């Protein structure tokens, strides 16, 4: 049996976009529809086909996409909105047919793409579990063997005999994921739909997908805008840009390329170039950057270097405050999604902000964070009269902590060349003395 479970060759998907002619209203009367129908028949006779198609445009959502996936791999598919991620998953799930190219799938595919797909709204949760199992080719006995696990994972015991059209979006996604993950498909396809669930359920799903891939040897295709999830779950990542594959490789490398696409560097982001400003009518985020100990903009930081994180923002209006002023703050996350720390400027060090631009910086000490990839969320908030977040960019920056193994092997590592556990690796001051009087 071949190790290749998915083979995509020169895949393309084309859509035809229609454009309104000459300022016509979108809403027309019935008499206009009938009149235009008669005119269109006459035009189809008199006008050549090329002239009739002037108001139509071809849009290629995917262009010449080719890649292979091995059995047991977990593949992360990343890219900006409109890059073609969801279109690719729909083709792999056999929901949409490609315009050209070929897809070869070995085994059963279970998909979780959008809230509202995969279940019959009039059927109960119980009935939909058996229906999905039957679609996957499972016998009733096989479904029954997995039934209790599905229900326990989804936490919908009380609502099993309620039509799923009455479920909340969170309940729907919980049951849909539980069904897709537990009915033993060879290929599990999951889109950004998990964002609907709460943080605890997302973590639970991530753990299950890891088990499906590493312990059960099944293949996972996962689309997410949360790079920490991609980095934690996936063994390989695919970067899509404008319908084409830009890069395939290790998640850490592909994620850095994803951040750099459209920006000068993932270590320095100019948010003024985005179509929509990051912020509100009070303050907006303009720029963010990462610097090493030499003051250089870079994503690669040595473990022995101090890291400087900075952001430039603009206050647009002046306001009065009671006792607490708006403050810049940050969250740092590890690649597995673990929240490493939160930091902000103390209120005692702040003044009422006036109109203008500001630069806020903080430093992370050397020999604190362990080797790995980290993500930085930047915010500007106020807790004067309730909590108000003026801007928050969750994945504003990312950087890699590198360690010179050769230099540190017989120093801080004491000869250990393997992976050091933990998110932090602080260089602490130890004291060692020999006890007198003991032999």
Which domains, ranges and CATH numbers included, belong to the chain?
Answer: 60-260 (3.40.50.300), 268-405 (2.70.50.60)
* pLDDT tens-digit readout, 17-41: 765 555 454 555 666 666 666 666 6
Q: Which pLDDT belongs to residue 263?
A: 47
- Residue whose C-alpha is closest to residue 122's, from 165, 185, 167: 165
Q: Which pLDDT belongs to residue 366?
A: 95
Q: Which pLDDT belongs to residue 206?
A: 81
Strand partners, 156: none
* pLDDT tens-digit readout, 343-356: 999 988 988 888 99
List the chain residues with pLDDT less than 50.
23, 25, 263-264
pTM comes to: 0.62
- Positive/negative CA dihedral, 341, 346, 352, 356: negative
Q: Is residue 51 a contact partner of residue 214, using CB atoms and an 8 Å limit? A: no
* Cα–Cα dist 280/326, whole Å: 13
Q: Which pLDDT belongs to residue 19?
A: 57
Q: Which pLDDT belongs to residue 264?
A: 43
**Rounded to whole angstroms, what are the CA distances from 189 to 96, 151, 218, 325?**
14, 20, 11, 46
């Amino acid at each position: 049996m071949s190790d290749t479970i998915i083979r995509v060759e020169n895949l393309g998907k084309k859509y035809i976009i229609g454009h309104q002619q000459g300022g016509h209203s979108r809403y027309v009367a019935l008499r206009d529809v009938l009149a235009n129908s008669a005119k269109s028949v006459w035009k189809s006779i008199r006008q050549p086909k090329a002239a009739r198609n002037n108001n139509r445009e071809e849009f290629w959502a995917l262009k010449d996409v080719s890649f292979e996936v091995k059995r047991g791999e977990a593949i992360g598919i990343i890219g900006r909105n409109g890059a073609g991620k969801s279109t690719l998953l729909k083709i792999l799930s056999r929901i949409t047919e490609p315009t050209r190219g070929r897809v070869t799938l070995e085994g059963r595919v279970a998909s979780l793409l959008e809230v509202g797909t995969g279940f019959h709204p009039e059927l109960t949760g119980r009935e939909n579990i058996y229906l999905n199992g039957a679609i996957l080719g499972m016998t009733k006995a096989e479904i029954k063997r997995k039934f209790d696990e599905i229900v326990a994972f989804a936490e919908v015991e009380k609502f099993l005999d309620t039509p799923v059209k009455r479920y909340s979006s969170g309940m729907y996604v919980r049951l849909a994921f539980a069904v897709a993950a537990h009915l033993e498909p060879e290929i599990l396809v999951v889109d950004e739909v998990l964002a609907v669930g709460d943080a605890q359920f997302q973590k639970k799903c991530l753990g299950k997908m890891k088990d499906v891939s590493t312990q059960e040897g099944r293949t996972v295709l996962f689309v997410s805008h949360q790079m920490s999830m991609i980095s934690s779950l996936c063994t390989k990542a695919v970067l899509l840009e404008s319908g084409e594959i830009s890069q395939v490789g290790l998640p850490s490398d592909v994620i850095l390329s994803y951040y750099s696409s459209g920006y000068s560097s993932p270590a320095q982001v100019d948010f003024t170039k985005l179509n929509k400003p990051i912020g509100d009518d009070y303050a907006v985020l303009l720029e963010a950057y990462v610097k090493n100990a030499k003051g250089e903009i870079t994503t690669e930081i040595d473990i022995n270097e101090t890291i400087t994180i900075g952001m430039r923002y603009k206050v647009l209006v002046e306001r009065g405050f009671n006792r607490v002023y708006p403050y810049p703050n940050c969250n740092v996350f590890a690649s597995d999604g673990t929240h490493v720390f939160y930091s902000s400027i103390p209120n005692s060090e702040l003044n009422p902000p006036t109109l203008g631009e500001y630069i806020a910086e903080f430093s992370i000490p050397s020999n604190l964070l362990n080797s790995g990839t980290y993500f930085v969320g930047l915010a500007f908030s106020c807790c004067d009269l309730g909590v108000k977040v003026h801007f928050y960019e969750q994945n504003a920056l990312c950087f890699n902590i590198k360690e010179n193994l050769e230099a540190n092997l017989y120093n801080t590592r004491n000869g250990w060349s393997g992976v050091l556990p933990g998110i932090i690796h602080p260089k602490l001051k130890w004291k060692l003395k020999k006890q007198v009087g003991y032999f």
